[in-house]
Amino acid sequence: MAKAKSSEEGIRIIAQNKKAFHDYEIAEKFEAGMVLLGTEVKSLREGRANLKDSYARVKQDEVFLYGLHISPYTHASFDNHDPERVRKLLLNRHEIRKLVGKTQERGFSLIPLRLYFKGGRAKVEIALAKGKKEYDKRESIKRKEENRELDRLRKHNKLS
């Protein structure tokens, strides 16, 4: 059981979607609560969640999270949850209106970035994101490698 601590006080990260930063250009971030079952919360406390291939969608002025895999709770008996069920996200009305307007624009998607506990409550950070083209991804990788090389040179010069 991996218990990662964030730099922000009182936040324990359960899962992160690192590939989202590679595949998407993040425009805006939102914090949302989730409607969960008891066995889902217990499974999250064990750190058993996967954000890969998950996304959010607005339907009838409500936001739902699809594709989030929360493994069944190991100590539950017959009444366990469906690992890939659709989960409702809890956002303010004005945030939902903003998301409705933006997601109707061409190319914008709602992507979960991380899943964490904040003050004992499970939260998900979703982002309004636009998909990157293949050449944008190559440019990002090139920029990261250049920065890494510069950092190595700076470190080497300080040690000399």
The CATH number covering residue 120 comes to: 2.40.280.10
Is residue 151 a part of any domain in this protein? no
Is residue 18 a part of any domain in this protein? yes
The whole-number pLDDT of residue 1 equals 45
Any idea what DSSP says for residue 151? H
List the chain residues with pLDDT less than 50: 1, 6
Name the E strands within 102-153. Answer: 108-118, 121-131
Q: Answer for the pair 126, 113: CB distance below 8 angstroms, yes or no.
A: yes
Is residue 74 a part of any domain in this protein? yes
Range of the domain at 87: 11-132
The whole-number pLDDT of residue 64 equals 93
Is residue 117 a part of any domain in this protein? yes
Helix (H, G, I), strand (E, B) or coil at 142: helix
Phi, psi of 6 (to 5 degrees): -90, 165
Among candidate residues 95, 125, 127, 98, the one with its CA nearest the CA of residue 110: 127
**What's the structural domain count of the chain?**
1
Name the E strands within 35-120. Answer: 49-50, 55-59, 62-66, 69-70, 87-90, 108-118
Is residue 3 a part of any domain in this protein? no
Is residue 88 a part of any domain in this protein? yes
Is residue 94 a part of any domain in this protein? yes
Is residue 93 a part of any domain in this protein? yes
Instruction: Kindly calculate the radius of gyration of the chain based on its CA atoms and give it in whole angstroms.
Output: 19
- In which residue are the tokens 């066995």 written? 39
- Report d(CA 87, CA 120) in Å as an integer: 18
The whole-number pLDDT of residue 8 equals 58
Q: What is the pTM of this model?
A: 0.72
The whole-number pLDDT of residue 6 equals 47
Q: Answer for the pair 70, 43: CB distance below 8 angstroms, yes or no.
A: yes
Q: Answer for the pair 95, 30: CB distance below 8 angstroms, yes or no.
A: yes
Tokens in use for 144? 């990261």
The whole-number pLDDT of residue 160 equals 58
The whole-number pLDDT of residue 117 equals 92
